[in-house]
Amino acid sequence: MIVTLFIIITLTFFLMQFLPGTPFTNPEKLSDKQLVILNAKYGLDQPAAIQYVRYIGNLLQGDLGYSFQYEGRTVKSMIVDRVGPSALIGLQALIFGTLVGLVLGIISALKHNTILDYGSVTLAVLGMSIPSFVFAALLQYYIGVKLEWLPVALWESYDSTLLPSFALSVTVIATVARFIRSEMLEVLGQDYVITARSKGLRESVVVTRHVIRNALIPVVTMLGPLAVSIMTGTLVIEKIFGVPGLGEQFTLSILVLDYSVIMGITLFYSTLFIVIVFIVDLLYGFLDPRIEYKEGGQV
């Protein structure tokens, strides 16, 4: 885990050196002399290797450095301040999306090739193919402006979180529904399901205990990365609804060459990703008794 992180940091750091330009915020007006003075002040005049060693040194002490675009603000405080809103709408979207997706997927698998199945498959395909920002804009206009049920945008109360969460959940619903449907169809044909049925178990027991549980395994695999991408903020949805989240910051920091923020967020995302993948691995054992962790096995 540490090794993976280390490789990510190193790669990002040196790739960043290839970006042309300066991280300073008013490049249009900076004179060459000023640029030299500023570069010296921030140690950017040093060779990349020395900057790298210095960065790693600071990192080991938990210091992510200062942002260039928000002068005086630490990268740490920028991440901490912004991650909450992103995580909240992400989490809500994930929970809501997974539940609805599960229900849709299960229904369409059980009522295979009926009108219900086609209905939810159509819904899922639509959800996958309509970009979430189109959906977000529609939600904002109809529910926010026309009906005035929920706030149009901004981040003022819990109500403000509902529209962005809902807009985000569409992708989750679609992904989960499609996955669970195909998995269940596969599991329904397995020998152990036939065995369970022939034992005389009630259909509801067969479905909950044998089918769903087994069908969930691949879904969990997929949910891990999905959770990371959704909880770390999505550029467009956050922008549309004015969510003060992390989503835009990452893209923006690359555009304006805010070196320390690029590094900080990359590090944060990768850590989160690794941790979630780890948790997913653990969940396998919980869902599928065939998978066991043995002492000394690889983690």
Nearest approach in angstroms of CB 242 to another protein is: 6
By CB under 8 A, residue 260 contacts another protein: no
The rounded distance, in Å, linking the Cα atoms of 59 and 158 is: 35
By CB under 8 A, residue 26 contacts another protein: yes
By CB under 8 A, residue 149 contacts another protein: no
Contact characters 129-148, another protein, x per CB under 8 A: --------x--xx--xx--x
Contact characters 53-72, another protein, x per CB under 8 A: ----------------xxxx
* Of 28 and 191, CB closest to another protein: 28
* Of 30 and 217, CB closest to another protein: 30
3 state SS of 98: helix
Q: Which residue in the set 2, 18, 33, 204 belongs to the binding site for another protein (CB under 8 A)?
A: 33
* Of 146 and 294, CB closest to another protein: 146
Contact characters 178-217, another protein, x per CB under 8 A: ----------------------------------------
Nearest approach in angstroms of CB 231 to another protein is: 9
By CB under 8 A, residue 34 contacts another protein: yes
Q: Which residue in the set 48, 134, 255, 275 belongs to the binding site for another protein (CB under 8 A)?
A: 255
The rounded distance, in Å, linking the Cα atoms of 211 and 17 is: 51
By CB under 8 A, residue 265 contacts another protein: no
By CB under 8 A, residue 292 contacts another protein: no
Tokens 């490049």 correspond to what residue? 27
Whose CA is closest to 155, among 244, 284, 75, 94? 244
The rounded distance, in Å, linking the Cα atoms of 49 and 12 is: 13
DSSP structure string for 160-222: HHHHHHHHHHHHHHHHHHHHHHHHHHHHHTSHHHHHHHHTT--HHHIIIIIIIHHHHHHHHHH
The rounded distance, in Å, linking the Cα atoms of 195 and 181 is: 21
The rounded distance, in Å, linking the Cα atoms of 276 and 282 is: 10
Q: How far, in Å, are 48, 72, 157, 263, 270 from residue 7 at the CA level?
A: 16, 29, 41, 12, 11
Whose CA is closest to 255, among 32, 20, 14? 20
By CB under 8 A, residue 32 contacts another protein: yes
By CB under 8 A, residue 29 contacts another protein: yes
Nearest approach in angstroms of CB 157 to another protein is: 6
Q: How far, in Å, are 12, 191, 231 from residue 270 at the CA level?
A: 11, 40, 13
* Of 119 and 242, CB closest to another protein: 242
Could you list the beta-strand ranges (E) of the chain: none
Q: How far, in Å, are 10, 34, 189, 208 from residue 173 at the CA level?
A: 36, 53, 25, 20
Stretch that binds another protein, among 111-119, 120-128, 210-218, 248-256 (CB under 8 A): 248-256
Provide the binding-site residues for another protein, judged by CB under 8 A.
20-22, 24-34, 37-38, 41, 69-73, 81-85, 87-88, 91, 95, 137, 140-141, 144-145, 148, 152-158, 160-161, 239-242, 244-245, 248, 255-257, 286
